[in-house]
Amino acid sequence: MFRGSIVAIVTPFKDNKVDERNLRELIEFHIKNGTSGIVPCGTTGESATLSFQEHDRVIEITIDQVKKRIPVIAGTGSNSTEEAIMLTRHAEKAGADGSLQVSPYYNRPTQKGLYEHFKAIAHAVNIPIILYNIASRTGVNIEPETIAKLADDCKNIVGVKEASGSLDQMSRIKQLCGEKFDLISGDDSLTLPVLSIGGVGIISVVANIVPKDVANLVTEFEKGNMQKAKEIHYKLLPLIKAVFLETNPIPIKTAMGLLGMCEPDLRLPMCAMSPENLEKLKKALADYGLLRR
């Protein structure tokens, strides 16, 4: 169900409010260009600075606009278990196809605490849950053994978005959890390597601006056309590097502003790119053929 190129979609703002019309336009752009699924209210969607009302509304708009054409995996994680349950229950009621659950940030729970946190959320809802492992932002790694125990004990924990950067860890997860458990890349630059070890796709940042290319990379791999998949991989790499010059989603939203896709507005503490990195981003967009210079 959750495979291919899944976009971690930005939340467009205008005058510091969610730009609902633009969000709907972006969703249509993705469906038209072969995106396999949409994650609203993830890291790229600036979930950390959305109010609860805005968070719920963005998910509702996404579900309404998608109209079941592709899966919607709502970002509903929190470092408070009760808040995560509240957000996930709302997403389920609104019609989300799944939930993306980031590991609790700042409070740095033990592996037992992580297990109990995700178990409580899984038992509170019926929709499928994808764990989101990104220790570089949360301060804690979900160990493969913990993921395997959750997969065994909670039928609706069906996969993990792995952004540890460690292919060794991802291989261990796949080994422990088996073929039915979805391994999804959380790093655009590792999409092809993760596919090669049994991954099923990518939850992508760069797909916000080049959805067709990211979708084609996965499709070519699945068709067994490794040469074509490698060509797309290496074509994408400089652009991927550019959209991570600063903390996500600063560069990707800046790029979308430059391309006229949405306002480049960010909410503090996210702020405008440095002039030198902005020039690097512009060059990468121009080299890719997306921006005239």
CATH number at residue 102: 3.20.20.70
Q: What is the pLDDT of residue 292?
A: 85
- Show the domain range for 157: 4-223
Whether 53 maps to a domain, the answer reads yes
Is 293 a residue whose pLDDT tops 90?
no
| Residue 8 · residue 209 · CB < 8 Å | no
Q: Averaged over 45-65, what is the pLDDT? A: 98
Average pLDDT over residues 105-123: 97
Q: Is 198 left (phi over 0), alpha (psi -120 to 50) or beta?
A: left
Q: Which of 233, 238, 231 is nearest to 283 (CA)?
A: 238
Residue 78 falls within a domain, yes or no? Answer: yes
Is 238 part of a structural domain of the chain? Answer: no
pLDDT tens by residue, 141-155: 999 999 999 999 999
Q: What is the mean pLDDT of residues 9-34?
A: 97
**How far apart, in whole angstroms, are the C-alpha atoms of residue 225 and residue 70?**
25
Average pLDDT over residues 27-41: 98
Would you say residue 1 has pLDDT above 90?
Answer: no
Predicted local distance difference test score (pLDDT) of residue 191: 98
Would you say residue 248 lies in a domain?
Answer: no
Q: Does 73 map to a domain?
A: yes
Pick from 6, 7, 18, 57: which is nearest to 265 by CA? 18
According to the model, what pLDDT value does residue 283 have?
98
Chain segment 196-232, per-residue pLDDT in tens: 999 999 999 999 999 999 999 999 999 999 999 999 9
Q: What is the pLDDT of residue 90?
A: 98
Cα separation, 229 vs 242, in Å, equals: 20
Query: Are 98 and 126 a contacting pair, CB within 8 Å?
Result: no
- pLDDT above 70 coverage of the chain, percent: 100
Look up tokens 């805005």; give the residue: 54
Residue 19 within a domain: yes
Domain membership flag for residue 243:
no
Domain count, the chain: 1
Note whether residue 259 is domain-resident. no
Structural contact between residues 76 and 88, judged by C-beta atoms closer than 8 angstroms: yes
Catalytic residue set: 132, 161
Token code pair at residue 176:
């422990």
Which whole number is the average pLDDT over 60-81? Answer: 98
The answer to whether 30 touches 211, Cβ cutoff 8 Å, is yes
Contacts with 45 (C-beta within 8 Å, 6 or more apart), sequence order: 8, 9, 10, 11, 39, 58, 75, 249
Task: Reply yes or no on whether the pLDDT at 16 is more than 90.
Answer: yes
Q: What is the pTM of this model?
A: 0.96
Contact predicate 194/165, CB 8 Å: no
Per-residue pLDDT tens for 258-273? Answer: 999 999 999 999 999 9
